Amino acid sequence: MDLSVLKETLKKNLLTQLRAYPMSFLVGNLLTGFYTALGAWLTYKLLFEEKLSSSFFEYTGTKDYMSFVIVGSLTYVFVVRTCLNVSRSLITELREGTLESLMLAPFRRVEYFLGNMMVQTVTTSVEVLVAIIIAIPFGLRLNHVNVLGFTVAFIVSLYAFFGVSMILGCIMLFTRDTYISQNTLFAFIFLICGITFPVQYLPQWLVVIARFIPITQVVKLIRNSTLQGMGLGEQIEIIVYVLILSSIYIVIGFILMKKSEEIALEKING
């Protein structure tokens, strides 16, 4: 691994975050989690009247609906921030006119994308920590957190997010579009990956599709370790599944990325 490429990528992106994206960007991302938690709270209190069906506990293992939704929403914020910014890195280079010079430089794809991912992990972690404080009055309860289980789940989650971002990055670079592709994917993830309700409530064909998206199992890992206190031994099968599926995403993503780069450069040169 070329650490110099990783170091310079980290430096560049940290400076960009500090100088180009003001506090309003942070507030905008926090509002996503806040509005989701507020909407869930209003639905639970006013529409459901704090009553849940027996199937909810059967599918989730918890009767704490608000913590269930809030943890899912905060995980979704992490998905959007990391996947979006990592996947947009090359198309941003294209739009800024620096893609050709980047390709001519001692460019290492793994270190480049890893550097982007690390920066987004740091900045998003700060946002999520603030969001947790905001979510406590809405009913977030983290009394059963398994620290080791959560730590491993968090690392596995980052690996999964990286895999999804590679696929999304290929689509963005190939189509030269970010708005439609990113919003379509994130809306789809929000709908079928169990962010605000159990996946089992979906039609069976959507459940099958959800199983092949790493985010679905990642949300389950995070919830199990924070709400039910599950450790590594109880979740090892899910962890292995996420690692295998995410590795497939990453391999396919890097293969397609090289082809997408070639197409993008050809379009630049007419």
Q: Which of 86, 78, 79, 84 is nearest to 117 (CA)?
A: 86
What does the pLDDT average to over 180-199?
89
pLDDT tens digits, one per residue of 159-176: 999 999 989 888 888 887
What does the pLDDT average to over 44-62?
82
CA separation for the pair 32, 78 (Å, rounded):
11
Question: For the chain, how many structural domains are there in total?
Answer: 1
Q: Which domain holds residue 23?
A: 3-268
pLDDT tens digits, one per residue of 129-169: 888 888 888 888 888 899 999 999 999 999 999 999 989 88
Q: Which residues contact 9 (CB under 8 A, 6 or more apart)?
A: 111, 112, 114, 115, 116
Q: With cut-offs at 50, 70 and 90, classify the pLDDT of residue 106.
A: low
More confident residue, 248 or 113: 248
Q: With cut-offs at 50, 70 and 90, classify the pLDDT of residue 51.
A: confident
Q: Is the pLDDT of residue 178 over 90?
A: no
Q: Which residues contact 32 (CB under 8 A, 6 or more apart)?
A: 73, 76, 77, 80
Q: Is the pLDDT of residue 5 over 90?
A: no
pLDDT at site 225: 93
pLDDT at site 207: 93
Q: Is the pLDDT of residue 50 over 80?
A: no
Q: Is the pLDDT of residue 212 over 70?
A: yes
**The model's pTM:** 0.88
CA separation for the pair 217, 157 (Å, rounded):
9
